[in-house]
Amino acid sequence: MTLLIRGGRLIDPSQEIDAAFDVLIADGVVAAIGERLEPPAGAEVVEAAGRVVTPGLIDMHVHLREPGQEYKETIRTGTMAAAAGGFTAVACMANTKPVNDERSVTEFIVAEAARHGFARVHPIGAVSKGLAGDELAEIGEMVGAGAVGFSDDGKPVRHPGLMLRALQYSQHFGVPIIQHAQDMELSGDGVMHEGVWSTRLGLPGIPGLAEDLNVARDLLLLEESGGRYHVAHLSTARCLELVRQAKHRGLAATCEVSPHHLLLTDRAVAEGEFSTHLKMNPPLRAESDRQALLAGLADGSVDVIASDHAPHHVDEKDQQFSAAPFGIVGLETTVSLVLDRLVGPGLISLSRAVELLSCAPARVLGLPTGTLKVGAPGDVTLLDLEQAITVDPSRFRSKGRNTPFGGWTLRGAPAGTVIGGRPIRLA
């Protein structure tokens, strides 16, 4: 199949391009970029005038729930949500049932994603068998089946010896270890950020120190072992400073932040009258933390924006705040939130936003995508910067409706995706 995307504004930070270029994709890869390319005979033409053309966006932190919790999400609904949200690829966490800690589960996820074809799916394998934190999972076997990183996300890798071995062993395969940073003793039974608002509301808190302490330990282990270390959904100012300093020391440390930690604080729990759609882990932090994360976006300390898409059934969230599970959905809100609340007011440039959502996650996970260089996979996202939307969870493709952004009016939205030169069309 040959596809010409014509007349758009191409933004590709991997090539420092921001110009009116056409993109020609043939046999699944980028064949040419340039001005006023002529479509080859038989080529399909996508008119992109007035739209931004970027390398396919990648959400490197989602929970697809399948196998085992299909009532929350399936690979089909999750990848449809990804396509609707402008993502051509997602990386899915290992806390499925059974846990993705062996080759057969990884192979199932890859095959199921290929069967539906709405987005590429890159499995993240478990660091430890059963997420139990005792014994290293079969990392090599899972890499052979398609895993691109390893994490016990949902839980931290608590034992320092296991983290050390994971960092050492993963070097044989060139894959990152992704940490859900949380000292469980310090966080205890907390349900929101420990601070003035948890005190006023009478809810047990999770101190920022619980995240900071875990990352500080891991960075020492990284310095000892080598390897690649990535902090998932980083949420505190001090944790970001630790990662920043590690980078300056030359360590292979990276981090991601989620839109909700960039746009909301713990005050929202009070203003939201204990809405469980404001309960996530790590929790919404203080305004000083939020400001530090925004500064990290601008100065390059933050590598990636990822949604931490975590769908739950409505009945699970329809409980008291303290009893409801952690997590919100994000695949279908992230791009518009970034465009409206970060790019719109000038906190980051549009090119930086594309880097955070495409080039950088590809780099962290070692993917060949995240670029539109000639010869790269023909994965493309189209953006409409002028389209105004109102977030309506009832229209989500995801089975999850658990978002704190329902009713928000945003300017800027995904306008389409292309995978390997194939336009994705949702019924």
What is the rounded CA–CA span in Å between residue 340 and residue 158?
A: 38
Give the per-residue pLDDT at 244. Answer: 98
The CA distances from residue 45 to 12, 39, 56, 92, 194, in Å, are: 20, 7, 18, 32, 54
Amino acid at 398: S
CA dihedral 195, 198, 204, 208 (to 10 degrees): -30
> How confident is the model over 164-174, as pLDDT tens digits?
999 999 999 99
| CA distance to 134, 191, 319, 335, 394, per residue, from 293 (Å) | 33, 21, 31, 18, 30
Tens of pLDDT along 151-165?
999 999 999 999 999
SS3 (DSSP) at 229: strand
In this predicted model, what pLDDT tens digit does every residue of 89-122 receive, in sequence order?
Answer: 999 999 999 999 999 999 999 999 999 999 999 9
What is the distance between the alpha carbons of residues 253 and 260, in angstroms, rounded to a whole number? 22
The one-character DSSP state at 111 is: H
Q: Band the pLDDT of 427: cuts 50, 70, 90.
A: confident
Average of per-residue pLDDT across 32-38: 97
Active site residue 308: yes
* From 59, 183, 266, 308, active-site residue: 308
pLDDT tens digits, one per residue of 114-148: 999 999 999 999 999 999 999 999 999 999 999 99
pLDDT of residue 379: 98
Handedness of CA 232, 234, 239, 240 (dihedral sign): positive
| Structural tokens at position 343 | 């790019």
Tens digit of each residue's pLDDT (9 = 90 or more) over 398-426: 999 999 999 999 999 999 999 999 999 99
Query: What mean pLDDT comes out for the span 323-350?
Result: 98
pTM score above 0.95: yes
Rounded CA-CA distance 228/219 in Å is 10
In this predicted model, what pLDDT tens digit does every residue of 248-299 receive, in sequence order? Answer: 999 999 999 999 999 999 999 999 999 999 999 999 999 999 999 999 999 9
